[in-house]
Structure 1
Amino acid sequence: MRIMGLDYGDRRIGVAVSDAFGWTAQGLEVIERRREGAEFDRIAEIVREREVSEIVVGLPKNMDGTVGFRGQICIDFADKLKELLSLPIHLRDERLTTVSAEKTLIEADVSRKKRKKVVDMMAASLILQNYLDSKSIR
């Protein structure tokens, strides 16, 4: 069973999944949020296709560690996922993951247009990889 990582945003949701062993995260796709609720249908479809057993959702915290407005939106999203999919949903601090993904893409000389298409997927991969690494330490 695989673990899914999600980087939830206003317009796009980055998606990553683990390998079958739960060791590495791979970016999968970016879901465009165009129609209300359609993102939940696509996530459910990926869960079935990839045999996902749990989901990690990035939780944007303020730099002082508190949860602000944006964080509460992600918590609400995670709660809805849990209700719809009946899977364990974990919230994972995502501070600076998008910034880190953007920096990596810039260093790799990826054009701005291409960066926009993959940065959310890369951020989801970082969120998931951080979660997988924390589990393997225990």
Structure 2
Amino acid sequence: MRIMGLDFGTVTVGVAISDPLGWTAQGIETVHYVEHKKNLLFDRIGELIQEYGVESVVVGLPRDLIGTESERALASRSFAKSVRRKFKIPVELWDERLTTMAAERILIAADVSRKKRKQVIDKEAAVLILQSYLDKKRMESKNDE
């Protein structure tokens, strides 16, 4: 069962996909969009859902360090609702606190140039969101055994 992770931003959406067993997340792409043409964004997400056989989606929910949700969180909630409605698959929101900062650190440690980091940071943030979700689900299933 493949799961898609999405890091929803104001002009880009980072996309990650799990392996078929749901153990690891791999970055797929960063989708650029403009607000008045969001249908193109949903078209691309739909193509990826079909291509990878995605059965559920995890959307990052931005919060500040104390857990308070911002206006950006409201946009992410609305986006998640739209994905659920358009593709008729389960969508969960997942705390994405500090994922962009963590992705930035990983890319810097890998000696990725500033220009290249800007192009891939949302995709890497989606990987971190999805991987933390997969790890949590795996721990929960171990505890249930």
Q: How many residues align?
A: 138
Question: Tell me, which stretches of 5 or more residues in structure 1 are unaligned?
Answer: none
Q: Distance in 1 between matches of 2:98 and 2:126?
A: 12
Aligned-residue offset at 1:66? 1.6
Scaled by the length of structure 2, the TM-score of the pair is: 0.93
Q: Does 1:63 align with 2:36?
A: no
Q: Distance in 2 between matches of 1:71 and 1:36?
A: 18
Pairwise mapping of residues 80-95 of structure 1 onto structure 2 (< 5 A)?
80-95=82-97
Given residue 95 of structure 2, which amino acid in structure 1 is its aligned partner? D
Higher helix share: 2
Given residue 6 of structure 2, which amino acid in structure 1 is its aligned partner? L
Identity %: 51
In the alignment, what sits opposite 1:23? 23
Q: Distance in 2 between matches of 1:37 and 1:116?
A: 24
In the alignment, what sits opposite 1:127? 129
Match of 1:36, SS state, is helix
Given residue 135 of structure 2, which amino acid in structure 1 is its aligned partner? D
Q: Distance in 1 between matches of 2:106 and 2:22?
A: 23
Pairwise mapping of residues 36-75 of structure 1 onto structure 2 (< 5 A)?
36-75=38-77
Scaled by the length of structure 1, the TM-score of the pair is: 0.97
Question: Tell me, which stretches of 5 or more residues in structure 2 are unaligned?
Answer: 141-145
Aligned-residue offset at 1:36? 2.9
Q: Distance in 1 between matches of 2:38 and 2:78?
A: 15
Q: Distance in 2 between matches of 1:62 and 1:96?
A: 9
Q: What RMSD in Å do the two structures reach over aligned CA positions?
A: 0.8
Aligned-residue offset at 1:40? 0.5
